[in-house]
Amino acid sequence: MNAEYDAIERLPTGIPGFDHIANGGLPRGRTTLLSGTAGSAKTVFAAQFLAAGALRGEGVVFVTFEESPDDLRRNMRGFGWDIPKWEAEGLWAFVDASPQPDQELLVMGSYDLGALLARIEHAVRRVKATRISMDSLGAIFARLGDTRLVRDELFRIVSTLKRLGVTGVITAERAHENGEIARFGVEEFVTDDVVILRNVMEEEKRRRTVEILKFRGTAHQKGSFPFTVIPGRGIVMIPLSAMELKQRSSNLRITSGNAELDRMCGGGFFRDSIILVSGATGTGKTLMATTFMAAGAQRGERALLFAFEESRDQLFRNAEGWGIDFEQMEKDGLLRVVANYPEVTSLEDQLIAMQAEIERFKPQRIAVDSLSALERVSTLRGFREFVIGLTSFIKHQEIVGLYTATTSTLLGGSSITEAHISTITDSIILLRYVELFGEMRRGLTVLKMRGSIHDKEIREFSIDSKGMHIGRPFRNISGILSGQFTHISPSELERLGAMFRDDETAPPAE
Q: Give the DSSP letter string of 161-172.
A: HHHHT-EEEEEE
CA pair distance 281, 318, nearest whole angstrom: 15
**Catalytic (active site) residue 66:** yes
DSSP E strands in 65-204: the ranges are: 92-96, 129-135, 167-173, 193-202
CA distances to 17, 59, 61 from 166, in Å: 23, 10, 10
| Alpha-carbon gap, residue 256 to 108, rounded angstroms | 74
Q: Three-class SS string for 422-442?
A: CCCCCEEEEEEEEEECCEEEE
* Cβ-contact 377, 344 below 8 angstroms: no
Spatial distance between the Cα atoms of 119 and 109, rounded to a whole number of angstroms: 22
The active-site residue out of 187, 309, 348, 418 is 309
Asked if residue 474 lies in contact with residue 425, where contact means CB atoms within 8 angstroms, the answer is: no
Q: CA-to-CA distance for 249 and 400, rounded, in angstroms?
A: 11
Q: How far is CA 70 from CA 42, 75, 95, 411, in A?
A: 18, 9, 12, 62
Q: DSSP letters of 348-400?
A: HHHHHHHHHHHHHH--SEEEEE-HHHHHTTS-HHHHHHHHHHHHHHHHHTT-E
Element spanning 20, H or E = helix 18-21
309 is catalytic: yes
User: Residue 118's Cα: distance from chain center in Å?
Assistant: 43
Separation CA 262–CA 454 (nearest Å): 9
Integer Cα distance of 94 and 82 in angstroms: 14
Structural Rg of the chain based on CA atoms: 30
Distance of alpha carbon 282 from its chain centroid, rounded? Answer: 29
CB-based contact 314:430 (threshold 8 Å): no
Task: Please tell me the distance from the alpha carbon of residue 83 to that of residue 72, in angstroms, as a whole number.
Answer: 9
What are the catalytic residues?
66, 309
